[in-house]
Amino acid sequence: MSGLGLAEVAVAYNGRRVVDGVSMHVEPRTWVALIGPNGAGKSTLLRAVASLVPYAGQIDIGGVSTAGMTRRHLSELVAYLPQRPVMPEGVTVADYAAIGRTPYVPYWGTESAQDREVIAGVLERLELTSLADRQVDTLSGGEAQRVVLARALAQQSEILLLDEPTSALDVGHQQQVLELIDLLRSEQGLTVLSALHDLTLAGQYADRLVMMRYGSVVSDGTAESVLTEESIMQNYDARVRVVDMGTTGLVVTPLRPDRGP
């Protein structure tokens, strides 16, 4: 089982530091959610972990630095899903999921019987078998999100990087997708690092929250310690009420600024 370690990770775009000295450790089989206002550097940090942007500092998986790994080997360890995955026009669900097998397929080759078995298993697991021949650009939002997850699972990596996996979904589908991710995490022993917009959902699903602002970590810990009215006021400039709902966890609800009597 490989945890994920970040030490003093920094990313600069055109001289501007978007991620500025982030250090954290993600324990194996846990779910850590990155939260923070727009532009805090959450997406960029995920890209750095996937080695999709040049970064300074150290990122390691199970104690091994990712800097020395080939693209291909890193892709066996880490699957990354951006906020708005490209759904290529006319491509079938089965072909799309097969893209996830790329690190295992010989460079100029095609899927082996074993690769096809993995793809079939993933589609079955996510109840997509009946949609295998559908074109991905014709799917509903919820179906599309499951198809994208199928591609990531076909990658059979232990670490899943998810950038706002529910941003395009209604509340019902948000819940379904997050439940599914949590189930897969415990079922397959995945380590999940995700950016999540919705603070309530982040608190409900993640084992730990890391709040970022201006590229740095401002607080890191359990939902109870990170999601305070004070901290949200300070970092989001938002008035909220945080209500403890017991077993359901914390609910963060916005308060409309007082408009007078």
Partner 1 sequence: MTAERIREPGISRVGWGSALLVLGVLLACSVLAIAVGAVDLPVGSVIAELLDRLPGIDITSGLSEREAAILWELRMPRVVLAGMVGGMLAMAGAGFQGVFRNPLADPYLLGVAAGAGLGATLAIAYVPDDSGWVVSPLPLAAFAGAILGVAVTYALGRSATRTYAAATLILAGVAVAAFLTATQTFIQQRNTETFREVFAWIMGALGTVGWEEVRLILPYVIASAVGLLLYRRLMDVMGVGDEEADSVGIKAARVRLVVVAAATLGTAAAVAVSGLIGFVGIIVPHAIRLVLGSSYRVILPLSLGFGAAFLIIADLIARTVIAPAEIPIGVITAFFGAPFFLVVLARARRLS
> Which of residues 27, 117, 127, 224 is near partner 1 by CB under 8 A?
117
According to the binding rule CB under 8 A, does residue 89 interact with partner 1?
A: yes
| 24: helix, strand or coil | strand
According to the binding rule CB under 8 A, does residue 88 interact with partner 1?
A: yes
Contact window for partner 1 (CB under 8 A) among 118-126, 169-177, 198-206, 224-232: 118-126
User: CA 147, CA 138: separation in Å to the nearest integer?
Assistant: 12
Report the residue number, 19 or 252, with the smaller CB distance to partner 1.
Answer: 19
Question: Under 8 Å CB-to-CB from 145, ≥6 apart: which residues?
Answer: 165, 166, 168, 169, 173, 177
Distance between first and last Cα of the chain: 58
Q: Which two tokens stand for residue 209?
A: 């929250």
According to the binding rule CB under 8 A, does residue 135 interact with partner 1?
A: yes
- Cα 201 to the center of its chain, rounded Å: 13
Report the residue number, 117 or 179, with the smaller CB distance to partner 1.
Answer: 117
According to the binding rule CB under 8 A, does residue 230 interact with partner 1?
A: no
User: CA 218, CA 227: separation in Å to the nearest integer?
Assistant: 12
Residues that bind partner 1 (CB under 8 A): 47, 50, 52, 71-72, 74-76, 78-80, 82, 85-86, 88-92, 94-100, 102-103, 105, 107-111, 116-117, 119-120, 123-124, 129, 132-133, 135, 151, 155
